[in-house]
Chain A
Amino acid sequence: MNASDRITPQLAAAAILERLRTGPGYFLTNNERDVSQSDFKGRIMPATSLKAAPERDDTGYFAVEISGGASIHVDLLYKQIDPFERLRLLRRAMPNTLLQTVCRGRNLFGYRPYPDNVLRFAVELFARYVDVWRIYDFLNHVPNLKVVGEAVQQAGKLLIPSLCFSTGPDHTDAFYVSKAAEIVDAFGEDIILGIKNHSGVGSPRRIRDLVRALKTVFPRLILAYHGHNTDGNDLARMVAAVEEGVKIVEVADHGYGGMYSQAPALSLIQTLHDYGYQSPGLKIRPLVEASDLLRRERRHYQQFETPFRGFDPTVKRHKLTGGAASITFEQAEKLNLLERSHEVFSELVEVNREMGNIWSVTPGSQILWTTALNNVIHGRYENPSDDLKRLLLGRYGPFPFREPQQWIYEKVLQHRRTDGKKWYQILTDEGGWKELPDEDLPNRRGELATRLGRPPTDEQLCLYLQFPRDALDYFRFQEKFGKTWLLPPEIWFRRGGFEDGQRITFADEDGKTHHIDVISTHRKGNQVETSLLVDYHFQTYSTPVEPKDACRP
């Protein structure tokens, strides 16, 4: 097979589906977004992605997932880059590769349901850059996928509605086939049906059976598998999936990840090669070079790697999604609970059992984890979060298998109620999946214009509707500091200040090199004066600091 067998963004969605349906071999999706989120607290910086982009673009992946999940929020919070800008940059750097996102259905890129018109507005804007849309609902409640899925199809993009997968007595083939049928009813067969093994559970045989069951009922359906290698067994699961006819599997660069994220691409390619499977248009050399490059880059992200290195086969019990692993550990660390994490994990198993063994994936994973954490700190269900209340009220959708026991409803729903209402009354009066009234977009636009002091772009409005406070903070940052994503990660994450004489070099968007030399740092009272040579021009900046904040006496 040669490079012309590649699937590229220049092909129409229908032609891509046709090639997947009838063409030979299997395809790989590089899930950079998930590797960053699972193993590096979401902190892989645009500069690194852009560095790896030419090699990745040359590799011949089906797609590279560089958007969605927690990344939109993390872009605004900790990377200070406009998620749309990041897409534009990567689109330019990877012109031959489909760009993929993962979207939490009605919860979009956030943690709670959004009104339908916000969902449509967001899909319309993101679809300008994103070719492949992996969408899921953490309760497998298919109506939650409806608005986003239809908007994606309307935009002419590839839709991967995904079944969240887990293991346990209720997680039968029949259950997943029935959910697949709901999905096919909703979107037709011109989709790619995803299996989302976000926790990385189940044996290769379990996956083989599931794929076989789906293929038996829906022989025309194109299948994709997304898994995590948390237990170290995802390679075997992917081999089983491909053997049963799954067309797309998700992998990582071997220079990266290696814990809660995807299994390495090259290991899978070599294995499947031996099994007689080829990936059309795939090149090994750039794939290896991307990893060589990323290995060198990885040291800049050391501080964001999980405190627990290596595989975690106990995921079979606690089922914590890979995408939440590094961030939950970070949270535990902040609460000084890292040493007691085994307790939290035991509680997590218990909480999930009580919730009816649902899928531990965003936002469900956050709800389960936070509940486990609160239960350990405050006592069981003594301090329930608002999101747990929403879950019990059925706001996200119905529990798929069974509802929690009454005493849990009582503790959670009656917590801090001042009206004396009993839990069953609350459930009757306030419970259930609700239609959300549409946002008044012109009004929100006006509100943002007032805050920004100028008319916002559609993209700014879209981000503001999803994350009002954090988006606004980002816009203000951007106004003040500009395109700081140009900085290399070792500068962005620098701790302890810079050395006098240190030279910071980076290229701008047009490839031109700039130098900023650190001349001196002086502390004057509560001000730190930093003198820099900015492209050979002397500049001094005064930064007010709290005494505890200052890097040097």
Chain B
Amino acid sequence: MFKKILIANRGEIAIRIIRSAQELGIKTVAVYEETDKTAMHIIKSDEAVCIGAGPRKDYLNIDRIVQAAKKSGAEAVHPGYGFLAENPLFPKKCSEAGLVFIGPPMSVIDDMGSKVIARRIMEQAGIPVIPGHPPLPPGAEGEQQARAFAEQHGFPIMVKAVAGGGGRGIRMADSLGNLMKCLNMARSEARTAFGDDAIYLEKALQRPRHVEVQIVADGYGNVIHLGTRNCSIQRRHQKMIEIAPANLAPDLIERLCRDAVAAARAARYVNLGTVEFLLDETDRYYFLEVNTRIQVEHTVTEMITGLDLVREQIRIAAGDPLSVGQDQVQLRGVAIELRINAEDPKNGFAGSPGLVQIYQSPGGHGIRLDGAVYQGYEIPQFYDSMVVKLTVYGFNWNEAVDRLRRALDGFNIIGIKTTIPYYKEIVSDPDFIEQRFDTSYVDSHQHLLNYREEAPELERIARLLAEINARGRNPYAEPFAAG
């Protein structure tokens, strides 16, 4: 086993990785940018290296991170999610520097990172894929092909960037005119965002559900699945609420999991990954993509399996075989995870960075928190807005929802706006409680944004006391001082 690893990430996932490493007796090295020097992952790690002035660019700088790893004596690097996690150059550079990359081999990341190659591999493995069109040639020829595809499969159609992922680089067209416009915009966006303007088409499903299967594979050809997750509640293709397991018929779950394992085998997968599917209204499913990283929502799988997925990742990277066989994986209960972000849902979920004046969190049975902030921490404007990931476990769905409601009520966060009041509306929404949701949920439940924002009662009273104190009298109690 490694003695020291470097974590090429920040925020809650860096802390999550540190925890597993500590349990394995591995020392951890954090990296940070100057603009992130008060972040909590630095406090939690054994060592920390400043990799640059930031913001953001140094967390994406492979050379600096590899250099930091070498200098600190780390043997392996964990990329977390986001930043460099799915950049195939990162494992390549690590390997060149004699560092173990805790994740899939470069070739897998490369293949799965290309939507087109991934589709081809899946098709060959007999896994259903959404009707699609290979990358379009530029100009009129591409437009012609797009028109033909539309005639064959009908609208809506998604225009996707070949190099995109994680919900980025996607445009939806619902008419021919719209499609032509999307082609141009998608191309220029893809060029700017990914440095590659290749785009392709895919038939869009109406109100699909997003269901994914967690898989894990070792270097000895063992591949197992750890059940499903339903991540349908999304906003602009970004997941907000994730549930394990997906509430589907047992035979359907079995087929999904079997196909996911087949997909992993076809991709020669090693380490932890997620095979994502879309389900249409008739429960027909299609391969969406493979995520070659630990995912934000891995906690729900951990809750219902009892496994530590990061520990598993590190062990596999260190050359150990899987610690469990498929037969030993038992799913029990229901877990729900919410991403509590420093955002103002009422203002288009705009980021709400700032000083966390008060941070109180819930606890008790079945509640897990993966946080990244502390009371007194100033959330910087440069990074993602995650405050804490709340994962609850319940013996069944209803118990999990009840616990989720209780847990949300247990937060007291003052100083920043968070998504908590919005989530409180969701957990009381009959459609959510009855598990009637698909990827259109957020858009079709706009009324859930109409919650009232109120400072806690005591805080408001305290504000008045400050006023009575400052003015030497209560201006709201005396006629001559009113106003």
Residues of chain A touching chain B, judged by Cβ–Cβ distance below 8 Å, are 43, 77-80, 330, 334, 454, 473, 477, 480-484, 486-487, 491-498, 504, 508, 514, 516, 518, 521, 528, 530, 532, 534-535, 537, 539, 541, 543, 545, 549-552
The docked-state distance in angstroms from the alpha carbon of A508 to that of B468 is: 20
Q: Is the CB of B479 within 8 A of A494?
A: no
9 interchain residue pairs of minimum CB distance: A551-B472, A541-B466, A528-B470, A543-B470, A482-B460, A530-B466, A481-B464, A534-B462, A497-B469
Query: Secondary structure of the A side of the interface?
Result: mixed
User: Closest CB-CB distance, A535 to chain B, in whole Å?
Assistant: 6
Q: Is the CB of B461 within 8 A of A539?
A: no
Q: Could you list 11 examples of A-B contacts with CB < 8 Å?
A: A78-B478, A481-B476, A482-B457, A492-B468, A498-B469, A514-B458, A528-B466, A539-B357, A539-B459, A549-B472, A551-B473
Q: Is the CB of A484 within 8 A of B458?
A: no
Q: Is the CB of B473 within 8 A of A492?
A: no
The docked-state distance in angstroms from the alpha carbon of A69 to that of B103 is: 76
Residues of B within 8 A of A477 (CB): 476
Residues of chain B touching chain A, judged by Cβ–Cβ distance below 8 Å, are 357-358, 414, 452, 454-455, 457-474, 476-480, 482-483
The docked-state distance in angstroms from the alpha carbon of A469 to that of B153 is: 62
Contact of B458 among A78, A530, A534 (CB under 8 A): A534
Q: Is the CB of A480 within 8 A of B457?
A: no
Which of A518, A521, A541, A551 is most buried by chain B, counting CB atoms within 10 A of its CB? Answer: A541
Residues of B within 8 A of A497 (CB): 468-470, 472
Looking across the interface, which residue of chain B has its beta carbon closest to that of A80? B476
Looking across the interface, which residue of chain A has its beta carbon closest to that of B476? A80
The docked-state distance in angstroms from the alpha carbon of A221 to that of B481 is: 48
Q: Is the CB of B471 within 8 A of A516?
A: no
Given contacts A498-B469, A528-B470, A545-B471, contact A516 B461 (CB under 8 A): yes
The docked-state distance in angstroms from the alpha carbon of A477 to that of B466 is: 15
Residues of A within 8 A of B462 (CB): 516, 532, 534, 539, 541
Q: Is the CB of A532 within 8 A of B467?
A: no
User: Closest CB-CB distance, B471 to chain A, in whole Å?
Assistant: 5
Q: Is the CB of B463 within 8 A of A495?
A: no
The docked-state distance in angstroms from the alpha carbon of A482 to that of B459 is: 9
Q: Is the CB of A491 within 8 A of B465?
A: yes
Q: Is the CB of A521 within 8 A of B469?
A: yes
The docked-state distance in angstroms from the alpha carbon of A551 to that of B481 is: 14
User: Closest CB-CB distance, A153 to chain B, in whole Å?
Assistant: 37
Given contacts A493-B474, A551-B470, contact A504 B480 (CB under 8 A): no
Residues of B within 8 A of A498 (CB): 465, 468-469
Given contacts A78-B479, A477-B476, A493-B474, contact A486 B461 (CB under 8 A): yes
Q: Is the CB of B469 within 8 A of A537?
A: no
Looking across the interface, which residue of chain A has its beta carbon closest to that of B452? A454
Q: Is the CB of A545 within 8 A of B470?
A: yes
Looking across the interface, which residue of chain B has its beta carbon closest to that of A514? B458
The docked-state distance in angstroms from the alpha carbon of A477 to that of B465 is: 13
Looking across the interface, which residue of chain A has its beta carbon closest to that of B483? A473
Apart from the given pairs A480-B463, A530-B470, 9 other A-B contacts in the complex at a CB distance below 8 Å: A79-B477, A494-B474, A496-B473, A521-B470, A528-B471, A535-B458, A541-B463, A543-B466, A543-B470
Q: Is the CB of B358 within 8 A of A496?
A: no
Given contacts A334-B480, A492-B477, A535-B458, contact A518 B463 (CB under 8 A): no
Q: Is the CB of B472 within 8 A of A550?
A: yes
The docked-state distance in angstroms from the alpha carbon of A530 to that of B468 is: 10
Given contacts A504-B465, A541-B462, contact A494 B476 (CB under 8 A): no
Residues of A within 8 A of B467 (CB): 541, 543
Q: Is the CB of B470 within 8 A of A550?
A: yes
Residues of A within 8 A of B458 (CB): 508, 514, 516, 534-535
The docked-state distance in angstroms from the alpha carbon of A534 to that of B466 is: 11
Given contacts A482-B461, A483-B461, A486-B461, contact A492 B474 (CB under 8 A): yes
The docked-state distance in angstroms from the alpha carbon of A480 to that of B470 is: 17
The docked-state distance in angstroms from the alpha carbon of A521 to that of B467 is: 11
The docked-state distance in angstroms from the alpha carbon of A486 to that of B462 is: 12
The docked-state distance in angstroms from the alpha carbon of A528 to that of B478 is: 20
Q: Is the CB of A78 within 8 A of B457?
A: no
Which of A494, A496, A521 is most buried by chain B, counting CB atoms within 10 A of its CB? Answer: A494
Given contacts A497-B469, A532-B465, contact A480 B474 (CB under 8 A): no
The docked-state distance in angstroms from the alpha carbon of A549 to that of B469 is: 11
User: Closest CB-CB distance, A553 to chain B, in whole Å?
Assistant: 11
Q: Is the CB of B459 within 8 A of A494?
A: no
Residues of B within 8 A of A516 (CB): 458, 461-462, 465
User: Closest CB-CB distance, A71 to chain B, in whole Å?
Assistant: 15
Residues of A within 8 A of B474 (CB): 492-494
Residues of A within 8 A of B468 (CB): 491-492, 494, 497-498
Residues of A within 8 A of B454 (CB): 482
Looking across the interface, which residue of chain B has its beta carbon closest to that of A493? B477
Q: Is the CB of B469 within 8 A of A551?
A: yes
User: Closest CB-CB distance, B217 to chain A, in whole Å?
Assistant: 48
Which of B454, B465, B472, B480 is most buried by chain A, counting CB atoms within 10 A of its CB? Answer: B465
Contact of B471 among A78, A491, A550 (CB under 8 A): A550
Residues of B within 8 A of A518 (CB): 465, 469
The docked-state distance in angstroms from the alpha carbon of A494 to that of B454 is: 26
Q: Is the CB of B460 within 8 A of A481?
A: yes
Given contacts A482-B457, A534-B458, contact A494 B470 (CB under 8 A): no
User: Closest CB-CB distance, A51 to chain B, in whole Å?
Assistant: 18
User: Closest CB-CB distance, B387 to chain A, in whole Å?
Assistant: 17
Looking across the interface, which residue of chain A has its beta carbon closest to that of B467? A543
The docked-state distance in angstroms from the alpha carbon of A409 to that of B468 is: 47
Residues of B within 8 A of A508 (CB): 457-458
Which of A481, A492, A494 is most buried by chain B, counting CB atoms within 10 A of its CB? Answer: A481
Q: Is the CB of B478 within 8 A of A496?
A: no
The docked-state distance in angstroms from the alpha carbon of A86 to that of B468 is: 22
